[in-house]
Chain A
């Protein structure tokens, strides 16, 4: 080992700093975007929320409800998290010019690396199966209209990234002469090494260095790719599950702004001609754009990884309607990401989500139930219906009839309220 810092240590520090720095910059942008939503105030049921994080996010309890994709996902997730312990060693080695610094822990090091290698192979094959499911088997949920173009490319890019990273990790170990000669933990890479062991030492060393560098640069690249990708869910799933619904799925939020007005209307002592206090801005009812949604709804949108389990369970989608809960989430995210550029020249309603989609929802909550990370598309649909009805009076005409019946005779049909008890004597 030469003097520290060597040129390669400096280059490593620069690349590493740039990778972490740009990632941090984008995460701040992400937080700023989510904060464009309405604040939600303090959250209750903290204990239950942490329980959800433990079971639903960490334990992936809802993912494994579909056993094939679920178990493979658990494998890729565990593999990826555990193998990334290795990144810590790579960073220390890179910065300080050491080589496999963790070897000082003794035989346990071999077991650890051996385990990483087995996981790397399993992850590699799981990812290949994922690719086949998406591209060869053409599972319906991966071929909806909203999955053409970038979303499809994005999904495949992630899979290629993971395949390459796992391959580089194994190749890096296989071409590491001192590691192979130690013969501890080269459970998988040992057999690759046996094929290349006759190659000149210098060549092996070169391959090892190339793999080592590409591997760490690839990881930093992948980290920075997240912000531009649906793959952001590997980070946001945790806060999203924490902020997810803990009340019954059927309980829709009561709008406080409406409660105030209704109480005023029903209060015989209230002065109907009283002027609004100076400076009060009448609150907008419902949502026509992302800034009308709550921060939790925007976090939902940024978390969505487009798996499409919601859409595949949606009764409206299954019967050929335009509505796709996944598209609702993707549209919300796309509009939010485009907000700084588009400004108010566009909005979520009509420019992204059509009214036909909104009115096709039966509020059955199948999408909410299906989501492995507690995303709630129904709440966004409801907020947009509220805008259409309360701000624009733009409900489908049959619903206007229904609503005026409720208003006039307290039933959705035109029957007299006085006749409600007639069934008793019929």
Chain B
């Protein structure tokens, strides 16, 4: 067991009469998926290293309702949304950062209509701001000169128009950023969106994550960077299925920066 992180919950903060700068919305994958938990920790360490005061909801956090909504279950989505909004408004939360583009999209775009308006940022946007303001130092470390390709999560890219923040962070790693043929507005989905993560794909001649992983491997990059825990799972599975896991590592942008800084 590594050294425990000292991350407070909102309830603890409130008991001490403190309101943190930002709420870190961890999300279901970030809380429970073993691979995604590493992304959560890497990001928490980066926040701590930058001196950001933040807290999590812990047991008071619940699924945003994104997979329910995209499955067509608007009831369940709105139930989840209203319960979360009650908690968030109760703490007077103003700013939210999350490592999941699905949570990011739902909180940012679909909660305001139900009474929950916050300033919501994806962690790559937040980290870029920290870097630009000098609070976070990003340097290459072991990634200097390494080839990295970036996979655009649909719910960060096309859904919300953010293509540059993750790329700016990767460039600051002094790495060689290689684009896949299908990138940015034309980026190919990893196959997990729209609640596909939780079901078997429909019948076809190939799985989408294989198609995307092949494209990533073709670039010759040693690292596939993502900004989404679900893309991470899909790409990791795809790279493994192609037997390329010894040559290509799938990592979140936050993990790369944290590792470069030896956090």
Contacts and interface: CB of A to CB of B under 8 A. Distances in A.
Interface in B212-263: 212
Interface string B52-64: 0000111101110
Contacts of A10: none
A43 interface: no
Contact of B195 (A252, A364, A402, A424): A402
A251 B109 contact: yes
B5 interface: yes
A369 B184 CA distance: 11
Give the interface SS of chain A, mostly helix, strand, loop or mixed: helix
A291 B58 CA distance: 44
A411 B204 contact: no
A411 B63 contact: yes
Give the interface size class of chain A: 35 or more
A398 interface: yes
Contacts, number: 226
A382 B61 CA distance: 26
Contacts of B49: none
Contact of A363 (B30, B70, B202, B205): B70
A402 B40 contact: no
Nearest to B32: A415
Given A320-B206, A406-B65, A399 B199 contact: yes
A252 B78 contact: no
A395 interface: yes
Interface stretch (A143-151, A188-196, A255-263): A255-263
Nearest to A250: B159
B129 interface: no
A425 B74 contact: no
Given A315-B211, A399-B199, A403-B76, A412 B67 contact: yes
Nearest to A318: B211
B155 A250 contact: yes
Interface string B92-113: 0000000000000100111001
Nearest to A401: B198
Interface string B132-162: 0000000000000000000000110011110
A402 B71 contact: yes
Contacts of A266: 79, 82-83
Contacts of A413: 28, 32
A282 interface: no
Contacts of B44: 424
A259 B67 contact: no
Interface stretch (B14-22, B163-171, B172-180, B186-194): B186-194
A413 B69 CA distance: 16
B13 interface: no
A246 B78 CA distance: 23
Given A318-B211, A360-B202, A426-B37, A390 B61 contact: no
Given A410-B63, A421-B59, A262 B79 contact: yes
A254 B204 CA distance: 31
A329 B75 CA distance: 27
A410 B61 CA distance: 8
A171 to B, nearest CB: 43
A365 interface: yes
A255 B208 contact: no
B117 interface: no
Interface of A: 247-252, 254-255, 258-259, 261-263, 265-266, 285-286, 313, 315-316, 318-323, 356, 359-366, 368-370, 382, 384-390, 395-396, 398-399, 401-403, 406-407, 410-413, 415, 417-426
Closest 6 CB pairs of A and B: A250-B159, A385-B72, A410-B62, A320-B205, A363-B194, A421-B58
10 contacts: A248-B105, A251-B105, A319-B205, A360-B201, A364-B158, A402-B199, A406-B68, A407-B76, A418-B59, A424-B56
Given A401-B198, A402-B195, A423-B26, 8 more contacts: A250-B155, A250-B160, A315-B191, A319-B205, A364-B193, A423-B31, A423-B37, A423-B40
